[in-house]
Structure formats: structure tokens, C-alpha cells
Amino acid sequence: MIRPSPWPDLDRLARFVRASDSLTDTLATWTGRGLMVEILSRVDGACPDPLVADSLSLHDGARVQERTVLMRCGDAVVATARASVAVDSPALTPAIRTALRGGASLGDLLRPLHRRRVAVRVTVLREHPASDPTAPVLAVQARLDVGGTPVAWREETILEAVFAQVPRQARRRPVRIAA
């Protein structure tokens, strides 16, 4: 017997996040408002975690750029993300490598290269709302590929605040995400 979900909106959002090519675009569509991405930190030449090195098919001794960002909808933080970017990847153009070192937005830079986001794991962290906008509700591990080559590994956390940004009547309309 299949029992109904205790939090259908979260299940629905998890499906959209799993199928999307952009977390920022998905959350902007979900809330019906634009999102602002704020880079909190950027470290060039970081030694990647073994999981990241394996996921990005990095050679021994390869370095990555570590980035930590906040995604805001209005004044509310709706998600956080940490990315490890293989800035020396041959799939990236020299201009993009230079722009990444200058602090440009990863999503905006990779969009013209027709990057593909592969959601490796989407984990629901809560079964019921906590009435705490800072409570994490989804954890996502995703890889960004350009031309079939992995170029970035992302650890994304979606917060309960994302549900407070959606007007009640908008929740009933279908959200269409092209996959």
C-alpha cells in the first residue's frame, strides 16, 4: 500500500530539483520570483575531496576552485551551495576559466556552453514543516557537465524558507521544468 506523503509540496519540489538543469532557475520558477546569488567565498587551487576528484575524473594532483554561495529570494535565504570547479578542464574555454577566477557566476558562465546538471542524489531531510525558515529540507549532490565532461561538483541545501516565498494560490498551479 502506498501511503500519501505527509508533505506533498516538498515531494513535488524534490522531483523538480532532481529533473532540472539549474537549481537557481528551478527555485525562481517555484517561488515565482527572481533569485539573487551571493558568492560568500571563493578559493582557487584547493585540493579536492576524493569523492569530488573521482566524480570530476580529475588526475592526481589536480586542483579545483571551491565556491560557497547563498541563494536569496527577497530577504530570505532559500538555499546554499558549495561547488568544486575543475577550472583547468579542457571543456571550458580560456575566457570562462579567466572569468571564473574573477568571481563570475558559475551558472551564468556555463549556460552558453549548454551545460547539463546531473542530480546524483536528492535527499529529503524532513517529513514535516518545522516552521523554521532556516531548517534544511533537501540535500542535493549534483554534477555539472559540459559536452559530456564533468566540470563541477555541487553540494546544495534547500531551506524551508523556499515554501514561505510561494503565494498560497500559486502552489496549486503546475510548474513545468524542461528536462
Per-residue pLDDT tens over the stretch 48-107: 999 999 999 998 888 999 999 999 999 999 999 999 999 889 999 999 988 988 877 888
Q: Which residue segment(s) compose the domain that 87 sits in?
A: 8-172
The model's pLDDT over 83-99, given as tens digits with 9 standing for 90+, comes to: 999 988 999 999 998 89
Q: Is residue 35 assigned to a domain?
A: yes
Give a yes or no: residue 75 inside a domain.
yes
Question: The whole model's pTM is what?
Answer: 0.87
In 75-146, which ranges are E strands? 76-85, 116-124, 136-146
Cα–Cα distance for residue pair 18/40, rounded to 1 Å: 25
- Domain annotation covers residue 2: no
Number of domains composing the chain = 1
pLDDT band, residue 1 (cuts 50/70/90): low
CATH code of 51's domain = 3.40.1410.10
Beta carbons within 8 Å of 133's beta carbon, 6+ residues apart: 76, 159, 160, 161, 164
| 98 inside domain | yes
